[in-house]
Copies of this chain bind each other. A is one copy, B any other.
């Protein structure tokens, strides 16, 4: 496995792969890899000749007071996991390599980013779009794999690809869950045993409304209220519970196939997100 810390060397290597006719699949991550990430790697492997993983805890997508400083990191573990999984190249730059001290260019999405996570996290999606645009230009992938867990992120990136004409195909891999249903997340490591149990309510609520929907309940208000009650019972502090159009992220009143129910809630100090496509 090749390991690149320099953007220029990464880009140079990718250009060489492209000229030799290889297709490149990029899995952008913030590291602390878990089975959710591995499912992204597997998808990249099945779609492309070459798999590149990037690991970069991107400071510009964290807001003031968020967990940038304590975000879990394990470069060595990540690196050997990637190696074992047959990743071809690992791009693992430091912040100075990614951002000049006088960096002044940003990619902004100003429609899909405004609701949901964008409300409590202003600037978050500008940070995401900018770093993903940079990663696309550095790694030059044919396809890039994102996880469905960050549903809004995937939709925003899809919009960026469309509006800026990136020659990249976005693939979204399904959410990977623990046996009890909890969505895998690097942030789960923050949870105490009690919190971990209460966090379970999020996936349970999603499963419940999913079942209700297929039993005939299409009133978004009713379905959302069921979730809110459940989360409150488990003493989770709700950021939002929304049911939206899967492409436009606009709230729906009557739920249809392809709509998405999204939850963001604090379990103690840990912000968790999860979603389910009807």
Residue numbers of A with Cβ under 8 A of B are 7, 11, 15, 18-19, 21, 99-100, 102-112, 129-130, 133-134, 137-138, 140, 159-160, 162-167
Contact = CB atoms under 8 A, between A and B. Distances in A.
A163 B103 contact: yes
A137 B165 CA distance: 6
Contacts of A21: 19
Tell which of A19, A103, A164, A167 has the most Cβ of chain B within 10 Å.
Answer: A164
A165 B104 contact: no
Contacts of A7: 165
Contacts of A160: 105
Contact of A107 (B102, B140, B164): B164
B18 A159 contact: no
A233 to B, nearest CB: 38
14 contacts: A15-B167, A104-B110, A105-B107, A105-B109, A105-B110, A105-B159, A105-B162, A105-B163, A105-B164, A106-B110, A134-B163, A137-B164, A138-B165, A140-B167
Given A137-B164, A165-B11, A167-B137, A107 B110 contact: no
A121 to B, nearest CB: 17
Contacts of A102: 111
Nearest to A98: B165
Contacts of A112: 104
A16 to B, nearest CB: 12
B134 A105 contact: no
Given A18-B18, A19-B21, A105-B159, A164 B111 contact: no
A129 B164 CA distance: 10
Contacts of A133: 164
Nearest to A104: B111
Given A18-B19, A21-B19, A100-B163, A108 B111 contact: no
A105 B109 CA distance: 4
A124 to B, nearest CB: 15
